[in-house]
Structure 1
């Protein structure tokens, strides 16, 4: 064969090969455009920012083929309707907190936090390696959604109060913004729980529509300006040893995605999950110092109130579990995991942290 004929033949072969390969590549990386509605305002950069990080990661991993546009609360639907919008395909996905939807079923609490439950590291261990995600997604399937963890605030504060809480009796008739099952527990102690989106807390406290409110912790609370409308800042937020944020995906839309896109979403969600916790752990120490300098009065909840709350929580879990097999199944699983975790925690994690806190105090 002459050299010229060989080159022509080889070129035709490469062209033919490309003609076969290109459609296969195109099919494996289709153009996909999704919308994600957030339950949070853009001003809360730690929480809202997790959805933006997820979107950016997905776009970069797919060379822009998979685009997810994030919308703040109220731009498409109100913050507390994010799950509904995902279920009915108004959007393909949302970034929210699972426990906002305990009105649908109290089992939704476990995707975010349950009072006297897991801390941030423990809930991630339960999700990723303890069977928690499989158990929860079995439940969420009934609502037509698939879930991945989408951030974590770490341990939370107990919130802002317009008056001191010295005994459990001081809770009688107190109107408090508090989400999820915690509101039902505090109701047993005389509190009148109110569920408000983050952006509605400040005006409600300012007008006296509510007497107290919990949100997240120092960094976000400072952004919301809650120190300007309530003086006493309580801890710990026993209802949220952590709060896991949630990515919900419409189940049909999730199933339509190529497997590699599903894998990219899992990776992007995991990145957002870890990044949010690191972000809060970095920003909260300086924020709490600023709040105290601005006049916030730090107070620890009285042990008597903590004990009464713990007792009320266990009673509520028994009551709900007796009527709701899904709740009982998930609660029993998470509770057993928590107890095993704290067996380990008391040996090393707690003793190390306790020593370092004391060492810091001694200077």
Structure 2
């Protein structure tokens, strides 16, 4: 579909037309400064590290010919307005989680996380070893952007709660923060789901606007102070078994760059993706221990809760497959996940289980 026709026919088309575009990227003596807006507040643990790594890598890889003027959430546009800012030309790039933009197209969720979807290694396999990246580009170009993965949190926790979750019925009426398609699935269990930017979560919990929330994992959650306002933490969740972050560049701006500069952006994203994953995994274990030592009550969802999550997730994903592009991306991701998980279950998972059993007995 022609992207201009798509935008004209969509609800976003109106906002794009109404947006005030800033001047084109600053160009002086062959150098370009691109404005990158972010869904994250400045300094937010883990996700802001990915922002800085991307910016530093692009500058280094281009010998300073391309630099980024990074704007945190609220400094130029709001956290959830970055997509519109880049597609309209108000900014040149964004760094964020693409599942924030399922209102533009639900398939964007596949480039962060979908409920009962891929783990981080499975996402990497699909994106870098199969057709995930090409599909990310195909989807983004409908809206006039060029997209790349640029961060990875690994599996995200099932969330923080004021009260223990003992059955699926406990979600009825629960005011809970969960973005993306995971949030839509949770709403099928009766939860009152809200999509609140990360920088606003603590205040919403403190004020009672939320009864619970998911954020990322023990390290980021501890930094955000969620243990101060909720007693119960569930480390395993259904909604983000692996969560990627993305950068996207306005397509016209991207096409004005040289091939080597374009490649620098792609490789900066890939570098941030793997480094960010290592960062989260390295920090989550020690952070969880600190949380437990500090009094956090760690729990696991019961099988009946997991079954309810599964039914809601499958029903939700199936409801979107009437959209041709969503189905194309969905089918590709599902096929890759099944093939990868079949091997990983017989190799990595089996080995890890035996390693843990043997070492525990010694």
TM-score by length of 1: 0.89
Q: What RMSD, in angstroms, separates the aligned Cα atoms of the two structures?
A: 1.5
Q: Give ranges in structure 1 of 5+ residues lacking alignment.
A: 1-26
Asked if structure 1 preserves the Cα contact closer than 8 Å seen for 2:150 and 2:268, the reply is no
SS in 2 for 1:346: helix
SS in 2 for 1:201: helix
SS in 2 for 1:45: coil
In structure 2, the partner of 1:287 is: 287
Asked if structure 2 preserves the Cα contact closer than 8 Å seen for 1:96 and 1:247, the reply is yes
In structure 2, the partner of 1:16 is: none
Asked if structure 1 preserves the Cα contact closer than 8 Å seen for 2:232 and 2:297, the reply is yes
- Structure 1 residues 19-168: aligned runs within 5 Å: 30-168=30-168
Asked if structure 1 preserves the Cα contact closer than 8 Å seen for 2:43 and 2:49, the reply is no
CA-CA distance at 1:361 after TM superposition: 4.3
Structure 1: distance between partners of 2:112 and 2:33: 27
Structure 1: distance between partners of 2:235 and 2:307: 14
Is 1:212 the equivalent of 2:207?
no
Change over 3 Å in CA distance of 1:89–1:203 after alignment to 2 = same
Structure 1: distance between partners of 2:266 and 2:37: 18
Q: How many correspondences in the alignment?
A: 335
* TM-superposition CA deviations, 1:106-160 (whole Å, max 9, x none): 1111111111111111101111111011112112111111100011000111110
SS in 2 for 1:230: coil
In structure 1, the partner of 2:320 is: 320
Change over 3 Å in CA distance of 1:292–1:104 after alignment to 2 = same
Structure 2: distance between partners of 1:42 and 1:362: 45
Structure 2: distance between partners of 1:271 and 1:162: 38
Asked if structure 1 preserves the Cα contact closer than 8 Å seen for 2:246 and 2:269, the reply is no
In structure 2, the partner of 1:245 is: 245
Change over 3 Å in CA distance of 1:338–1:50 after alignment to 2 = same
In structure 2, the partner of 1:347 is: 346
Structure 1: distance between partners of 2:41 and 2:47: 9
Structure of greater Rg: 1
Asked if structure 1 preserves the Cα contact closer than 8 Å seen for 2:234 and 2:298, the reply is yes
Q: Give ranges in structure 2 of 5+ residues lacking alignment.
A: 1-26
Structure 2: distance between partners of 1:253 and 1:98: 20
In structure 1, the partner of 2:329 is: 330
TM-score by length of 2: 0.90
In structure 1, the partner of 2:273 is: 273
SS in 2 for 1:337: helix
Structure 2: distance between partners of 1:257 and 1:264: 10
Asked if structure 2 preserves the Cα contact closer than 8 Å seen for 1:43 and 1:223, the reply is no
Structure 2: distance between partners of 1:167 and 1:362: 34
Q: Which moved more, 1:350-359 or 1:286-295?
A: 350-359
